[in-house]
Structure 1
Amino acid sequence: MATSLISNHESRSSSIDRLLIESKRRKKKKNQNQNQNQNQNENANKNNSTSRWRTPAEHHTYSSKLLEALRHVRRTTTTTTTPSTQSPARAVRDAADRALAAAAKGRTRWSRHILTHRLKLKFKKRKPPRPAHGDSRSEKPGLDVLKFKGKKKNKRLPALQRRVRVLGRLVPGGRKLSFPTLLEETTDYIAALQMQVRTMTALTELLSVAGSR
């Protein structure tokens, strides 16, 4: 009787051990499959972000939007009688950036930031008038203590964090993004800028050929 109980106990313990081993194997296999799927999705997103701006269709849509924006700049500069505070080079650059954001169709944060920033500038309030010259106290610029504190804090920051901040200032709308999202936006923005350079180079070559003829 005792031997049968011992054998039953041993068989039960061995079956429990087998179940535990099988459950561990299943969990391990499930985690491996999830990691593989995640890596495949990340690679697909990277390929889509970089190849999206290299297709002929993207070149065509951006070139058409760029030509429309440049024609609009030309019409506004020729029809307006009052001198504009914005230089022609700056106007062309802003038109090219707006066309690039419109070609992105709002799929990225940097494109949405460029389009919304344009609307904000339209409805921006005017600056208050400067004080009279007689008031000498108002003309003296005051010392901003917070600026010096901010500079000291920036020096204490690690090198990687300082570079991330600089990168966030370079990418439109990237100051308040997390680091992984900022990297995704940066890769897409760089690919878009490369297409912009190629399109504008081809456009200048066509214009130079037409001017020589």
Structure 2
Amino acid sequence: MACAAGPRRVWRRALLRRLRASRSRRARLAVVPRRRMRAPRVAPGEPTRAETLRRLVPGGRSMDYCSLLEETADYIQCLSAQVQLMQTVVDSISH
């Protein structure tokens, strides 16, 4: 699915890079940084929403806040497509 989605999104590149690195043991390529945007402030010791997203979205740890939101939206869209595809496969097998 990541291959079919196209080369534009960072999370796709991160997943493909992880697969290639595990197969060939090559060093990962650095993600090109984009413009910076500050994340909202929260109480000390409490993880921000951005930190939580960075842990969930592949490649999110090296992104600024604005890029992280764009990648999150795209990642959710592609995960939804994968779920629909799997549901279609299960429905076709069960009939």
Runs of 4+ in 1 over 3 A off after TM superposition: none
Identity %: 37
Identify the residue that residue 156 of structure 1 maps to in structure 2.
44
Letter in 1 for 2:10: R
- Counterpart code for 1:205: D
Q: Which runs of 5+ in 2 are unaligned?
A: 27-42
Once the 2 structures are TM-superposed, how far is the Cα of residue 179 of structure 1 from its aligned partner?
0.5
1:156 partner letter? P
SS at match of 2:90: helix
| Aligned counterparts of 1:102 and 1:123: Cα–Cα separation in 2 | 18
TM-score by length of 2: 0.74
Q: Map 1:150-189; keep pairs closer than 5 Å.
A: 156-157=44-45, 159=46, 162-189=48-75
Tell me, in whole angstroms, the C-alpha distance in 2 between the residues paired with 1:114 and 1:121.
11
Aligned to 1:109: 10
How do residues 40-79 of structure 1 correspond to structure 2 at under 5 angstroms? none
TM-score (norm 1): 0.35
Deviation at 1:176, TM superposition (A): 1.1
More RCO (CA 8 Å, sep 6+)? 2
Over residues 189-213 of structure 1, what are the superposed CA-to-partner deviations in whole Å (9 max), with x where a residue is unaligned? 101111111111001111122xxxx
- Greater helix share, 1 or 2? 1
Q: Does 1:202 align with 2:94?
A: no
| Equivalent in 7, 19, 22 of residue 118 of structure 1 | 19
- Root-mean-square deviation (CA, aligned residues, Å) is 2.0
One-letter amino acid of the structure 1 residue matched with residue 44 of structure 2: R
1:96-122: per-residue Cα shift (whole Å, max 9, x none)? xxxx21121111000111111001111
Counterpart-to-counterpart distance in 1, 2:48 and 2:93: 42
What letter matches 2:11 in structure 1?
Answer: W
- Equivalent pairs counted in the alignment come to 79
Q: Residue by residue, what CA displacement relative to the aligned partner does 1:102-144 show, whole Å, maximum 9, x if unpaired? A: 121111000111111001111339xxxxxxxxxxxxxxxxxxx
Where does the alignment leave 5 or more consecutive residues of structure 1 unmatched? Answer: 1-99, 126-154
Q: Distance in 1 between matches of 2:50 and 2:22?
A: 27
Q: Distance in 2 between matches of 1:198 and 1:166?
A: 25
